[in-house]
Amino acid sequence: MVSIKDIAKKAGVSISTVSYALNGSPKVTEETSAKILAIAKELNYIPNAAARNLKKRETKVIGVYLTDFSGAFYGQLLQGILESLSRNDYGLIVCSGEHSHRYLPERMIDGAIILDSTFSSGELLMYAERGHKIVILDRQIEHPNINQVLLDNKAGATLAIDHIVEKGHTKLYVVTGPEDSFDSMQRLNAVRQAAQRYPHIEYSEIPGDFTKEAGERAAEQIIDEYDQIAAAFCLNDEMAIGMYNYLANTEYNAGEHIHIIGFDNLEVSHHTKPRLSTIDYSKRRWGAVAAEQLLKLIKDVPVENERIYVTLVEGESIGEKKV
């Protein structure tokens, strides 16, 4: 790889003169600068971005860390992040896996948005202590260099359970998410609290993992145990869609025998028959707010933790229980 040393040798000038010319410094005459730039182009010189960024202590790039890229959830979130960053002349890289964690300590990015369970809270605190700027979407950590932009999972789960009870249902299944998911555990804890307010409800939990396959397995279990009309709260829409898929091949119908509600209001849920009841929030706004908060941290502007609010979308998948 061609270095500024090679350019200096061919131009017959010092390395510092080449550096000044490449960076547009007025310390070099126009004639010398033009000569050096022509030689750099001739030699196909590519600046060492890592070295330049280390000197400037900025990359103008933000890292977004996700546990994985599966499912239909991430597109709008990333679009919201991208739109906010683009308006501020920042780039975006999407990362996954523990090997990409090094981008923070090596300052290959200016900051990070975290929705990734492979980071421990201790690791994030360590980076924050070193001055790295971080926005977290999937946990609660208090530190001046860390900002929280969290979903109001408790409100969403409570809305779902209250809606089910208001429709007269007395048998309730909850299909849980991954044990290492912050959002899943917050929703599940809220469900358990809500269930205590309704002691007449027959309540059961079915383990899930936020995939369609988990929803299919849950539907199979519910059908195997079926003795009356039941309601099922899937802690995300992916599992609710899986439940629809399974029921389509049985004599049982969503909204008639099994009443279903999800969480996330994914685009696909708009096209289910009957329309899926679900908990809605703006994934694009979630991403946009996270990006805006991170840019403020980078500029050392004081920020407060943010919460993304949720609403209930009523569909025909949750109907009145018929006696």
Phi first, then psi, for residue 296 (nearest 5°) are -65, -45
Q: Which of 36-45, 133-142, 150-159, 288-297 has the lowest mean pLDDT?
A: 36-45
Whether the per-residue pLDDT at 251 is higher than 70: the answer is: yes
pLDDT at 105: 86
pLDDT at 42: 87
In whole angstroms, give the CA distance from residue 15 to residue 238: 58
Tell me the pLDDT tens digit for each residue of 73-87: 788 999 999 999 999
- The pTM (predicted TM-score) of the whole model is 0.80
Give the number of C-alpha atoms closer than 13 A to the C-alpha of residue 309, restricted to the C-beta side: 1
φ/ψ region of 319 (left if φ > 0, alpha if ψ in -120 to 50, else beta) reads beta
In whole angstroms, give the CA distance from residue 79 to residue 20: 38
Region 181-193: mean pLDDT is 95
More confident residue, 306 or 269: 306
Whether the per-residue pLDDT at 71 is higher than 90: the answer is: no
Quickly count: other Cβ atoms within 10 Å of residue 125's Cβ: 16
Please name which of 111, 124, 127, 103 lies closest in space to residue 49, comparing C-alpha atoms. Answer: 103
pLDDT at 19: 82
Amino acid at 247: L
pLDDT at 57: 66
Place of tokens 């369609």: 212
pLDDT at 51: 54
In whole angstroms, give the CA distance from residue 6 to residue 48: 14
Whether the per-residue pLDDT at 201 is higher than 80: the answer is: yes
For residues 14 and 29, the answer to whether their CB atoms sit within 8 Å is no
Amino acid at 294: L
Contacts for 196 with CB less than 8 Å, ≥ 6 apart: none
* Mean predicted lDDT score pLDDT of the chain: 91
Whether the per-residue pLDDT at 242 is higher than 70: the answer is: yes
Q: Which of 230-244, 263-277, 309-323 has the lowest mean pLDDT?
A: 309-323
In whole angstroms, give the CA distance from residue 263 to residue 279: 4
Tell me the pLDDT tens digit for each residue of 150-174: 999 999 999 999 999 999 999 999 9
pLDDT at 180: 87
Q: How confident is the model at residue 277 (pLDDT cuts 50, 70, 90)?
A: very high
φ/ψ region of 237 (left if φ > 0, alpha if ψ in -120 to 50, else beta) reads alpha
Tell me the pLDDT tens digit for each residue of 93-125: 999 888 899 888 888 899 999 999 889 999 999
pLDDT at 59: 85
Tell me the pLDDT tens digit for each residue of 202-220: 999 999 999 999 999 999 9
Whether the per-residue pLDDT at 56 is higher than 60: the answer is: no
Give the number of C-alpha atoms closer than 13 A to the C-alpha of residue 138, restricted to the C-beta side: 21
Whether the per-residue pLDDT at 6 is higher than 90: the answer is: no
For residues 195 and 161, the answer to whether their CB atoms sit within 8 Å is yes
Domains of the chain: 2-54 (1.10.260.40), 59-150+281-308 (3.40.50.2300), 151-279 (3.40.50.2300)
pLDDT at 93: 95
